[in-house]
Chain A
């Protein structure tokens, strides 16, 4: 129990890739875990406990110390700015946060006070502050692409991996806010308590 290390990972692609990466460094989680409905599991040595949580909840688990380590997209870290250590860029799960709009639009011609829908209000605010435009941000929890089509907003700020969903909704990328990949993060106290174990994982993974 004392040396057990807890790792929070979002379900889906990051979980799949994480299990693979751990497998490669000799930490084996059950192969049927991804398909099961269980929210946590242990590796064969019972030294590592893996939690599957919502992507947006990984920082909370790690910041509060319910998990010692977490794997989470840089997009979530930039949006939430949690008080955690970021140890490594794992270079998988690549995607980018973009400003997208209809073909007729461009960043230069955007009017002041235009409306943006997004799941990323912080990052959107920072982006528009940087380019010196005052916009109205509407936070949504999904189906962001509907914004311009329904008249809810003029443009959107959303995450895209392939650009396919944008295209299907007649949207084009106007600018990139930032690029994102999966990052390994740690709780600052967990990092002290499990320093050797964590440095070891960090150097191998």
Chain B
């Protein structure tokens, strides 16, 4: 029998799955809107040289690249933050700040040997031109509320910082990024109170605890992972019932400057594929 399949990592969503996915998107859109975020939509296809300003070597490797008839290199967007930063820096740079934006769009990353999805539905928020910790609290808090809106239970948040790599040798940096704790020399510390670079992390945790008292929020010295453009605090959300990261985000204060307009920024994205299509 002949079957007409879809490429590796690409799936059809039949009515039941689509209903859940769309319902999740609608729930998040209304939550984001209640919290003052305005929806934005950027194109699926962009010039590779533009998006590459925000991509590290790993993201570049996983991007789906092709050529337009004129021979320009194009990418299917592998990330939502870089295109939004480009749009804000080039077309919205006269807007008053802080500028709160949100999106619900898929991203595309080459599937690996473990059959990860190529098309990943994301929903996320960004705040451009923030000036203090309140916006970072706002972002992480909206992320938690978003997951709660989707009925995700047993959520945990780990907070890291790009400075956790400061002063490490190249070998140890790479080991930490890879999770090779043998070469790194120890299991990275993780608790509510460590704050090795006095970057106000304990302050941030205390602030988040005020409105999310039941959620474990830990500072994790091993959390340095993440996209190329992160410049400060990084965070990840997980659930006991899911064996992948379900949301992540952080500060990316120098990304907009790559597009010609210097502006601080912080944001997060929820991976809707990880939330699954079987709930509800």
Which residues of A are interface residues toward B (Cβ below 8 A)?
2, 63-65, 83-89, 183, 187-190, 192-193, 195, 198-199, 202
Decide: A64 near B243, CB < 8 A? Known: A192-B238, A193-B156: yes
**Interchain CB contact (< 8 A) of B242 among A63, A88, A189:** A189
Report whether A84 and B179 are in contact in the complex, using a CB–CB cutoff of 8 Å. Answer: yes
Q: Which residues of B contact A192 (CB under 8 A)?
A: 156, 158, 190, 218, 220, 238
Interface residues of B in 239-280 (CB under 8 A from A): 240, 242-245
B114: interface (CB < 8 Å): yes
Report whether A88 and B240 are in contact in the complex, using a CB–CB cutoff of 8 Å. Answer: no
Closest Cβ–Cβ distance, residue A62 to chain B (whole Å): 10
Interface residues of B in 219-233 (CB under 8 A from A): 220
Distance in angstroms between the alpha carbons of A105 and B179 in the assembled complex: 39
Q: Which residues of B contact A85 (CB under 8 A)?
A: 179-181
Report whether B182 and A193 are in contact in the complex, using a CB–CB cutoff of 8 Å. Answer: no
Report whether B243 and A189 are in contact in the complex, using a CB–CB cutoff of 8 Å. Answer: yes
11 more CB-based (< 8 A) A-B contacts, given A192-B238, A198-B187: A63-B114, A64-B114, A64-B243, A65-B244, A87-B182, A88-B182, A89-B182, A187-B243, A188-B179, A199-B187, A202-B187
Closest Cβ–Cβ distance, residue A182 to chain B (whole Å): 12
What total of chain B residues lie within 8 Å of the partner, measured CB to CB? 17
A65 to chain B: closest residue by CB: B243
Q: Which residues of B contact A183 (CB under 8 A)?
A: 182
B116 to chain A: closest residue by CB: A83
Q: Which residues of A contact B158 (CB under 8 A)?
A: 192
Distance in angstroms between the alpha carbons of A86 and B178 in the assembled complex: 9
- Main SS of the interface on chain A? mixed
Decide: A195 near B242, CB < 8 A? Known: A63-B114, A84-B179, A87-B182: no
Report whether B180 and A86 are in contact in the complex, using a CB–CB cutoff of 8 Å. Answer: yes
Q: Which residues of B contact A193 (CB under 8 A)?
A: 156, 238, 240
Interface residues of B in 119-164 (CB under 8 A from A): 156, 158
Report whether A86 and B245 are in contact in the complex, using a CB–CB cutoff of 8 Å. Answer: no
Q: Which residues of A contact B220 (CB under 8 A)?
A: 192
Report whether B179 and A86 are in contact in the complex, using a CB–CB cutoff of 8 Å. Answer: yes
Q: Which residues of B contact A2 (CB under 8 A)?
A: 240
Report whether B187 and A87 are in contact in the complex, using a CB–CB cutoff of 8 Å. Answer: yes
Closest Cβ–Cβ distance, residue B190 to chain A (whole Å): 5
Q: List 11 A-B contacts (CB under 8 A).
A: A83-B114, A85-B180, A87-B182, A87-B187, A187-B243, A188-B179, A189-B238, A189-B242, A192-B218, A193-B156, A193-B238
Q: Which residues of A contact B187 (CB under 8 A)?
A: 87, 198-199, 202
Closest Cβ–Cβ distance, residue B120 to chain A (whole Å): 16
Distance in angstroms between the alpha carbons of A148 and B179 in the assembled complex: 39
B174-187 CB mask vs A (1 if < 8 Å, else 0) is 00000111100001
Q: Which residues of A contact B245 (CB under 8 A)?
A: 188-189
Distance in angstroms between the alpha carbons of A2 and B190 in the assembled complex: 20
Q: Which residues of A contact B218 (CB under 8 A)?
A: 192, 195
Distance in angstroms between the alpha carbons of A87 and B220 in the assembled complex: 15
B225 to chain A: closest residue by CB: A188
Distance in angstroms between the alpha carbons of A192 and B182 in the assembled complex: 18
Q: Which residues of B contact A187 (CB under 8 A)?
A: 243
Q: Which residues of B contact A195 (CB under 8 A)?
A: 190, 218
A194 to chain B: closest residue by CB: B240
A82 to chain B: closest residue by CB: B114
Distance in angstroms between the alpha carbons of A202 and B189 in the assembled complex: 13
Closest Cβ–Cβ distance, residue A4 to chain B (whole Å): 12
B181 to chain A: closest residue by CB: A87
